[in-house]
Amino acid sequence: MPLLSLRALTRRFGQTLALDRLDLDVAAGEFLTLLGGSGSGKSTLLRVVAGFETADSGAVLLEGRDLSGVPPHARPLNMMFQSYALFPHMNVAANVAYGLRRDGVPRAERDARVGQALAMVGLEGFGGRLPHRLSGGQRQRVALARALVKRPRLLLLDEPLGALDANLRERTGFELRALQRETGAAFIMVTHDQQEALALADRVAVLEHGRVVQLGPPRAVYDRPATRFVAQFLGAANVLEGRPDGAGGFDCPGLGATLRPEGALPPGTAACALRPERIALRPLAEGPNSAEGVVEEVAFRGDDSLLLVRAGGGALLRVGHAEEDGAPPPRGATVRLGWEAASVVPLAG
Partner 1 sequence: MRPLLLRALPLALPGLWLALLVAAPLLVVLALAFAWPTESVPPIAPPWGAEGPNIEPFALVLEDPFYHAAFAQAALVAAGTAALCLLLGFPMAIGLARATPAWRLPLLMAVLLPFWTGFLPRLGAWIGLLRDEGWINTLLQSLGLIADPLPLLYSWPALFLGMAHAYLPFAVLPLYASLSRRDPAVEEAAADLGATPWAVFRTITLPLAAPGAAAAFLLVFIPAMGEYVIPELLGPPGAQLVGRVLWQEFFQNRDWPVAAALAVLLLLALLLPILLFQRLEARR
Q: Any contact of residue 139 with partner 1 (CB under 8 A)?
A: no
Instruction: Confirm or reject binding of residue 150 to partner 1 (CB under 8 A).
Output: yes
Among 81, 183, 294, 333, binds partner 1 (CB under 8 A): 81
In angstroms, the CA 243 to CA 270 distance is 7
By CB under 8 A, residue 99 contacts partner 1: yes
Q: Is 63 left (phi over 0), alpha (psi -120 to 50) or beta?
A: left
Shortest approach of partner 1 to residue 251 CB, angstroms?
52
* Binding residue for partner 1, selected from 83, 116, 195, 334, defined by CB under 8 A: 83
Q: Are 10 and 58 in contact (CB under 8 A)?
A: yes
225 binds partner 1 (CB under 8 A): no
* Contact status, residue 55 vs residue 20, Cβ threshold 8 Å: no
CB of 79 to partner 1, least distance (A): 5
Cβ contact 341:274 at 8 Å:
no
φ/ψ of residue 214, rounded to 5: -155, 145
The CA distance from 335 to 239, in Å, is 20
Spatial neighbors of 191 by CB under 8 A, at least 6 apart, are 33, 34, 35, 159, 161, 162, 197
* Interface map 7-46 toward partner 1 (x if CB under 8 A): ----------------------------------------
Q: Which is nearer to partner 1, 85 or 341 (CB)?
A: 85
When binding is defined by CB under 8 A, the residue of 14, 64, 69, 71 that contacts partner 1 is 71
Minimal distance, residue 72 CB to partner 1, in Å: 4
For CA atoms 18, 29, 214, 195, the dihedral sign is positive
Residue in 14, 38, 65, 89 binding partner 1, rule: CB under 8 A:
89
Part of the chain binding partner 1 (CB under 8 A), chosen from 81-89, 112-120, 208-216, 250-258? 81-89
Q: Does 161 bind partner 1 (CB under 8 A)?
A: no
Spatial contact of 231 and 225, defined as CB atoms under 8 Å apart: yes
Footprint on this chain of partner 1 (rule: CB under 8 A): 50-52, 71-75, 78-79, 81-83, 85-89, 98-99, 102-103, 146-147, 150
